[in-house]
Amino acid sequence: MNIDFSDIEYLENPDEITLKADFQQFLLSLDVPTIIDITGKDPKRCRVIVTLLHGNEPSGLIAIHRWLTSNGELPSPETNLRFIICSVEAANATPLLSHRFLEKGLDINRCFGNSQNHGYYKRAKAIENAINEVSPEVVVDLHNTSGSGPAFAVSPLLSTRGLSLTSFFCDAIILSGLELGALMEQDFNCPTITIECGGANDEQAHEVAFEGIHQLASCPSIDNFHQEKSVEIVYKPLRLELKPHKSLSYSNHNEGNNGVTLLSKIEQFNFGGAHKGQMLGWLDEHGLDNLQLINENQENVISDYFTVRDNQLVCATNLRIFMATPSFEIAQNDCLFYIVNLTGSSSI
């Protein structure tokens, strides 16, 4: 597929014919990244919602389409809204909404803030420009978790406005010190958060996205918003990754495989407690040398968090695990899951 990485389509207050009967038909009508601008009661202000950076994470698209069509006519938000639908080509690849990115392509959510100006880096820059040109009050990037689990927010910075924004969608935010080239790491002179709505096949995830959009759209002032529920803050997760050229498999029992074998139901630990001594899988004769857990000082601290019991991969301390996935492709090419020490959180 030949892709023009600079091409973006703009839709302003689209009618029901343009929006189609359902989100699948609407998605199939799109050829390139698409921006939908909705005029609000106060057109001097704008809020931005981004979705489908990954083509297999549909909750944001489903929720946006539902919000745009819920009353048979376009809603009237308090401020202008700019929706940005990104990886249209990947989302439209067969089977629909099953490809994180195209074969031989790149994960665009690792391409932001980069000086390169070709391919997916060029598209990332175009998305950044589309956000900056409306000087937004807030930017929300809607995703699905790679495995089933509850919704949570992620942000590199904390602010009162960011906490209020989080409370529209969920009750927990992860303060991330990671630098991955993600959209949320970019400075748009306003709070920017990622919302992991839950699993891509979970109806509740679609509902989280819709209710959050509805609350964001109908809130006159985020600064003066009375936050009705507390938001738990989880500090600085670490990414558990395979070392290069190490093997990964999943099983319910030890099969003596090379590299790392994770429990088939590893996603059951998502955003829950994994106590000291909890077994998460099995390792070959190389043990923890199959894995890396890089801290902010670029040190591999794997042995501070995990240990080997016989040939089992075991928690060395009480951990919180999230984004654990049964997807071999995601786990091998991105990370196995994220962890934080269970003591590393508070509520505001």
3-state secondary structure of 114: coil
Report how far apart, in Å, the C-alpha atoms of 181 and of each of 106, 178, 227 are: 12, 9, 31
φ, ψ for residue 253, nearest 5 deg:
-155, 165
Residues 6+ apart with CB under 8 A from 251: 257, 261, 263, 264, 282
User: What integer pLDDT is reported at residue 345 of this predicted model?
Assistant: 52
- Please compute the mean of the pLDDT values over residues 45-70 and round it to a whole number: 97
Share of the chain above pLDDT 90, in %: 80
The overall average pLDDT reported for the chain is 93
User: What integer pLDDT is reported at residue 343 of this predicted model?
Assistant: 62
pLDDT digits (tens, 9 = 90+) for 293-322: 998 889 999 999 999 999 999 999 999 998
Question: CB 335: neighbour CB atoms within 10 A?
Answer: 21
Banded model confidence at residue 147, pLDDT cuts 50, 70, 90: confident
Distance in angstroms (rounded) separating the CA atoms of residues 9 and 85? 10
Q: What share of the chain is helix, strand, coil (3-state, %, to 5)?
A: 25, 30, 45
pLDDT digits (tens, 9 = 90+) for 193-210: 999 999 999 999 999 999
User: What integer pLDDT is reported at residue 10 of this predicted model?
Assistant: 98
- Give me the DSSP letters along 2-48: ---TT--EEEES--HHHH-SSHHHHHHT--S-EEEEE--SEEEEEEE
pLDDT digits (tens, 9 = 90+) for 167-196: 999 999 999 887 889 999 999 999 999 999
Q: What is the DSSP letter of 210?
A: H
Report how far apart, in Å, the C-alpha atoms of 188 and of each of 129, 132, 138, 207, 325 are: 10, 6, 8, 27, 31
Nearest Cα neighbor of 39 from 86, 9, 74, 84 is 74
φ, ψ for residue 336, nearest 5 deg:
-70, -45
- Please compute the mean of the pLDDT values over residues 1-12 and round it to a whole number: 91
| Strand arrangement, sheet containing 192-199 | 9-12, 34-38, 79-85, 42-51, 139-145, 192-199, 152-155, 172-175, 232-235, 345-347
CATH topology of domain 9-234: Aminopeptidase (3.40.630)
Nearest Cα neighbor of 208 from 57, 83, 343 is 57
Element (H, E) at 68: helix 59-69
Distance in angstroms (rounded) separating the CA atoms of residues 325 and 266? 7
Q: Is the pLDDT of residue 80 over 70?
A: yes
Q: Is the pLDDT of residue 247 over 80?
A: yes
φ, ψ for residue 185, nearest 5 deg:
-80, -10
Considering only residues 342 and 249, tell me which one the structure prediction assigns the higher pLDDT. Answer: 249
Question: Where do the domains of the chain lie?
Answer: 9-234, 238-347
- Altogether, the residues listed in the chain come to a count of 348
Q: Is the pLDDT of residue 344 over 60?
A: no
**CA gyration radius for the chain?**
20
Distance in angstroms (rounded) separating the CA atoms of residues 196 and 141? 9
Q: Is the pLDDT of residue 58 over 70?
A: yes
CB 206 within 8 A of CB 63: yes
- Please compute the mean of the pLDDT values over residues 240-249 and round it to a whole number: 95
Three-point CA angle 280, 282, 285, nearest 5°: 145
pLDDT digits (tens, 9 = 90+) for 209-239: 999 999 999 999 998 887 778 899 988 889 9
User: What integer pLDDT is reported at residue 223 of this predicted model?
Assistant: 87
Distance in angstroms (rounded) separating the CA atoms of residues 59 and 202? 9
